Structure 1
Amino acid sequence: MIQEVATLTITPGSEEDFEAAAAKAVPLFQKAPGALSWRLDRTIESPNEYTLTVGWATLEDHTVGFRESAEFQQWRELVGPHFAAPPQVKHVQHTYVGF
């Protein structure tokens, strides 16, 4: 499994609206081929910063399949207005899992 890890910086004061929009977007990811999991975490020290982690079966499921889909456009329409900066996205693969 590949994990997409995106750091999302949200316009201060719109965190609640962003969270509501992100919740509406979950079904878009559920429909995406190769999508395995979806998680949104808020940074305690910087409350307008979030980490979105999406599990994908393959890198291409995200970079080609999802990013070129209508669902991606809908995702961006829902959450994009709340972004204070472009998302910072990377892909990771587990190399070791402890307890």
Structure 2
Amino acid sequence: MIVEAVMLNVKRGMEDDYEEAFREAAKIISSRKGYISHELQRCLEVKGKYLLLVKWETLDDHTVGFRQSEEYQEWKRQLHHFYDPFPTVEHFEKVPVS
């Protein structure tokens, strides 16, 4: 399992519209092969700042299966105009510590 982590900065004054659009767009991502779960968190200190965490079975499920799909084009259409600056997506894996 990998975790996709994205710090999102939504344009000022568009936060409510973004949250509504994200609820709709979440249907797209949750239907994809390899999707496990996601959560969107709102920053308490900085208005318009969000953290998106998406769990995928494999890195390819996100970078190939989702990012190269037609559904991703719809995801972009629904959400990408809210971001400034455009976010950097990073992927993480669990480190065994015991």
TM-score range, shorter chain: over 0.9
TM-score under structure 2 normalisation? 0.93
Superposed displacement of residue 88, structure 1? 1.5
Give the corresponding residue for 2:86. 86
Cα separation, 2, equivalents of 1:47 and 1:96: 35
Unaligned runs of 5+ in 1: none
Cα separation, 2, equivalents of 1:93 and 1:47: 29
- RMSD over aligned CA atoms reads 1.2
Cα separation, 2, equivalents of 1:51 and 1:88: 11
Unaligned runs of 5+ in 2: none
Give the corresponding residue for 2:2. 2
Matched, 1:34 2:34: yes
Flag as ranges the 4+ runs of structure 1 deviating above 3 A.
Answer: none
TM-score under structure 1 normalisation? 0.92
Aligned length: 97
Give the corresponding residue for 2:70. 70
Q: Work out the percentage of aligned pairs sharing the same amino acid.
A: 37
Superposed displacement of residue 10, structure 1? 0.5
Superposed displacement of residue 96, structure 1? 5.1
